[in-house]
Each structure stands twice: as structure tokens, then as C-alpha cells.
Structure 1
Amino acid sequence: MNVVNVLGYSVSNSGLQADANTAIDFINQGQKSKYMACANPHSLVEAESDVSFKESLHKADILLPDGAGILLAAKILNLDIQERVAGTEFFIELTRLCNQQTNVNVFFLGSTEEVLANLVVQIKKNFPNVNVCGTYSPPFKSEFSEQDNQVMVDAINSAHTNVLWVGMTAPKQEKWIHLNRDKLNVNFIGAIGAVFDFYSGSKKRAPQWICKLGLEWLPRLLREPGRLWKRNFVSSPLFLIAVFKQRLGFCKTSYL
């Protein structure tokens, strides 16, 4: 897998197919707790004030270029990123590859019981060879206790899963994976946030033409302005300033 340096993070520039193939290789080779996360302007800005989140992104085995802002940064920095790879597309492509086999177990951690139930229905409908060996809806709280974490780890390990999908929103999901990955007997872990809602049909994703224009953020902002305003009007400008600092050769250890 090829990577490029965006603000000190090793972001994949291999493209969707190659990234998914890397993940399926992890699974087929019986690797332990390999981990995928998504890089976007907001996550990289937030990570600068959250040491645990920052470390979790640096430790990811696959860091996807998820977001039009990452592609813009690549152009400014003269980096070759083949394409934007959103968490949704990665999830679908890796699940498609798993469906071509007959022995891949998947587990979904996050969201609500209703969303999880709808998600399982969609997986069974579209990928009948994929075995959903378990789901778990964690308690709704800002931070999990050690007991909460152990219950989740035990549920995952007892299911004998190969692939663990975690949908808790960032940075909670990345930090949880980073904290617990050594305890998990799985081959591959993907942090995919809102993909649970999109794929289950609980929330509508923007039309494909909007996604291709790099404007997927706009309808989401209009639906949830209270939650997403900071991401678009604070993090994005800070991210671009940091990108220009990198372009000009300033502060090579930290750009934000």
C-alpha cells in the first residue's frame, strides 16, 4: 500500500480497490487487529488537541483519504492521491470481497438496536455469503467504563469474528479501537461512523453526483447544522492554513 504525507499523517493514495484488497489480505492471512480509519479535515484538526485521537490515527494500518478537503490538500502539496475513498465505499467494497468467500464472519459494534437490525437485513439481502456473527449496541455515554469496554470485548471475541465494524462517530470510535485492539481476537477493524446509518437506510446519503462534486458535506450540514457547523466553518479553514504551512515548509513536526 502506498501512502503520502498529509500534515504528518500517512494517508493512503492507493485507491479504493487496492485499499480493500489490502484489508482482505489481512483477513485471509489471519492477521491480528489490523485497523482502518478515515482522514478528513475535521478529524486531523481535532486530533491536534486530543493526544489519544492523534495516536489512534497514526497507528491506523489504512488511513483513507475521506473528504474533498484531503484531495484539495493533495493538489496544494503536489501529492498523488488517486481518488477520494469514503468510508461507505470502502465498507461496501470490502464486504463485496468478503461475500466472494464463504468463511468470513463480521460483527457490528455501535449505534442503536434498530439501526443494527436494519443493517443486518441489508447485509443478508445484498451479501448472502457474509455471516453476521454478532451485533452490539453500546450504552449511550460520552465515555465508557472499564466494565463497558470489557463487555464489548467479550461479546466480540466470543463471536469468533474476522471483521469488526465500529460505528460510534469520530473520535470516539477510533479511540476505542486504539485502546482495545490488542484485546480483540479479530483480523480487521474498520471505523466507519455514519455508514451504519446510511447503509441501514436510517439516514439518506447524498446523491452520487453530489458526492462526486465533493459536496457531500452540504446536505449533511443542512440536516444537522448544530452538530456539524464547527466541522465546516472552523476546522476546514484551520486545515487549509495548516496545509499551506506544510507546502511552504514550516513546522515539519506539527502544522496545526
Structure 2
Amino acid sequence: MGLGLAPLTEEQTIEHVLDALDRGDGGWLCPVNLDVLRQTVEDPALNRLVAQADLAVADGMPLVWASRLQGQPLPARVAGSTLVRTLSERAAARDRSVYLLGGNQGVAAEAAVRLRTDYPGLRIAGHRCPPFGFERDAREREAIAGDLRRTNPDIVFVGLGFPKQDKLIVDLRSVLPGAWFVSCGISFSFVTGEIQRAPVLVQRLGLEWVSRMIQEPRRLGRRYLVDGLPFAARLALSSLRLRSR
């Protein structure tokens, strides 16, 4: 549907990022779920935004299934919420530092403590939860950039939701051209337990959205039921048409 996704596994994605860091190359890793894809289809400006990512991967089983229907199968789902942990673990082993940017107030700090506890040796360069409306506050945006310059992390996880986090990443890349930025949405809340993540089997069945909606029905009901399900059907039909060509 007009967006290219890298045919990589989670392990290959992690190696891509860490090998690039070893070469001194920075970048932007953007996991794309069904809702992000829907928004890029409905808004060409958002399509152009995600197209700027150095690496876009499928963060959602519906996208993996659609790729199979299309006849160009992606090997696996690569979830941003999982990468916050797995990439941090590997970063610790490679003596790379991470920075947590986003989340509800206090969540990034708590997530930093949890990650440092779970992965001994992980270097947390810093963390910051920008206040609501920060994107319209030039001073706050400069404060974020200044903190990144001062701490100079190797990997920056940005959890502010699409497209806010991704627009911020585009602005910040010039501040740390040698770092990798990772869009990760609500992931810090999963790390802290503020929001419970679905069991692995439920994730593999492509039903993680049900668990999310049960926990946050008012916020996510429309996204999943009104917008998501019809778009998933549209995606499947589009993929089948491409396969038949």
C-alpha cells in the first residue's frame, strides 16, 4: 500500500543497528503497525514521513499476513515494544548506551531503572518525559536537543506515539547523527508494568490489540474497531490483488 518494509527478523534488525553503530553510522528504525500503515495510506504527508526512516519493519501480524497474501512474505513481526528490551539487552553486551525519551510523566525514569536491573551493565545515558504540548514549545524542544547533545547516547528510544515521536526524530537526527533513534510508542509503560502486555501466544495470534483495548477501551476502542478492522480487510484485499497480477 505504498510503504516499503524491510524483510528482517528481530535478530537481524538488532544486528543491523549495532553493526551500523560500530561503523559510526546513525539512523532511524521505525516499526510500522496496522494503525501507522493506515495513517500513511490516508495522509500522503505521513507516508513521506515514514519513508525517511532508514529501516521500517513490520510491527504487527496483520502486516506479516498481508505480505504472505501478496506473495512477498516478511519473515517475522519486529515489535517496537519488544525491541526496547531485546535491543537494550544487546546494547549492554556491546557497551552501548541508551536514552529513553517519552512516556507519561515519570514512566521513562522508572523504565530506565527496570532495564538497568534486568540487563546489568546497561548504560542509561538519560531519560526525559516531555510535557504535553512540547511540540509547540521551542524552549522545550531545544531542552530535549540540549540534553541529547550533553549525554550523547548511542540509541534513543522515543515513545510519544505516531506521528509525534517520528516528527521529533526527524528534527533530532541532526543533533546526534551517529545515534540510532527507535520509534517505540507505549513501550515504556510495558516495561514498567503500567500497562500489561499480552502473553506471547496472544501476540503470535495477532490478538494483542484485544488485550490493549480491554485495558484502555475509551482511548483505543475507535482505533481498533472503527478504523482498524475495516482497514485490515482492505489491506488483505489489496494484497490479494497484487498477488494475482
- Does the 8 Å CA contact 1:68/1:214 hold for their aligned counterparts? yes
Q: Which residue of 2 aligns with 1:184?
A: 176
Q: What amino acid is the match of 2:15?
A: N
Gaps of 5+ in 2: none
Separation in structure 2 between the aligned mates of residue 123 and residue 238 of structure 1, nearest angstrom: 35
Q: Once the 2 structures are TM-superposed, how far is the Cα of residue 146 of structure 1 from its aligned partner?
A: 2.7
1:223 to 199, 215, 229: 215
Q: Which residue of 1 aligns with 2:204?
A: 212
Q: Once the 2 structures are TM-superposed, how far is the Cα of residue 242 of structure 1 from its aligned partner?
A: 4.4
Q: What amino acid is the match of 1:44?
A: L
Which ranges of 4 or more aligned residues in structure 1 deviate by more than 3 Å?
A: 48-52
Q: Once the 2 structures are TM-superposed, how far is the Cα of residue 52 of structure 1 from its aligned partner?
A: 4.1
**Compared with structure 1, are the counterparts of its residues 105 and 164 closer, same or farther at alpha carbon in structure 2 (3 Å cutoff)?**
same
Q: Which residue of 2 aligns with 1:155?
A: 147
Q: Once the 2 structures are TM-superposed, how far is the Cα of residue 182 of structure 1 from its aligned partner?
A: 2.2
Calculate percent identity across the aligned residue pairs.
Answer: 23
Q: What amino acid is the match of 2:67?
A: A
Q: Once the 2 structures are TM-superposed, how far is the Cα of residue 36 of structure 1 from its aligned partner?
A: 0.8
- Does the 8 Å CA contact 1:52/1:175 hold for their aligned counterparts? no
1:167 equivalent to 2:186? Answer: no
- Does the 8 Å CA contact 1:53/1:174 hold for their aligned counterparts? no
SS at structure 1 position matched to 2:99: strand
Separation in structure 2 between the aligned mates of residue 175 and residue 239 of structure 1, nearest angstrom: 25
Gaps of 5+ in 1: 1-6, 250-256
- Does the 8 Å CA contact 1:65/1:71 hold for their aligned counterparts? yes
Q: How does the TM-score come out when normalised to structure 1?
A: 0.87
1:31 to 6, 9, 25: 25
- Does the 8 Å CA contact 1:53/1:175 hold for their aligned counterparts? no
- Structure 1 or 2: more helix by fraction: 2
Q: Once the 2 structures are TM-superposed, how far is the Cα of residue 74 of structure 1 from its aligned partner?
A: 1.2
Separation in structure 2 between the aligned mates of residue 239 and residue 55 of structure 1, nearest angstrom: 21
- Where does 1:1-256 land on structure 2 (aligned, <5 Å)? 7-32=1-26, 34-102=27-95, 104-141=96-133, 143-233=135-225, 234-245=227-238, 247-249=240-242
Paired residue total: 243
Q: Once the 2 structures are TM-superposed, how far is the Cα of residue 205 of structure 1 from its aligned partner?
A: 0.6
**Compared with structure 1, are the counterparts of its residues 142 and 247 closer, same or farther at alpha carbon in structure 2 (3 Å cutoff)?**
farther
Q: Once the 2 structures are TM-superposed, how far is the Cα of residue 51 of structure 1 from its aligned partner?
A: 4.3
**Compared with structure 1, are the counterparts of its residues 186 and 149 closer, same or farther at alpha carbon in structure 2 (3 Å cutoff)?**
farther
Worse overlay, 39-48 or 161-170? 39-48
Worse overlay, 237-246 or 56-65? 237-246
Q: Once the 2 structures are TM-superposed, how far is the Cα of residue 115 of structure 1 from its aligned partner?
A: 1.1
Q: How does the TM-score come out when normalised to structure 2?
A: 0.90
Separation in structure 1 between the aligned mates of residue 134 and residue 212 of structure 2, nearest angstrom: 22
Worse overlay, 110-119 or 122-131? 110-119
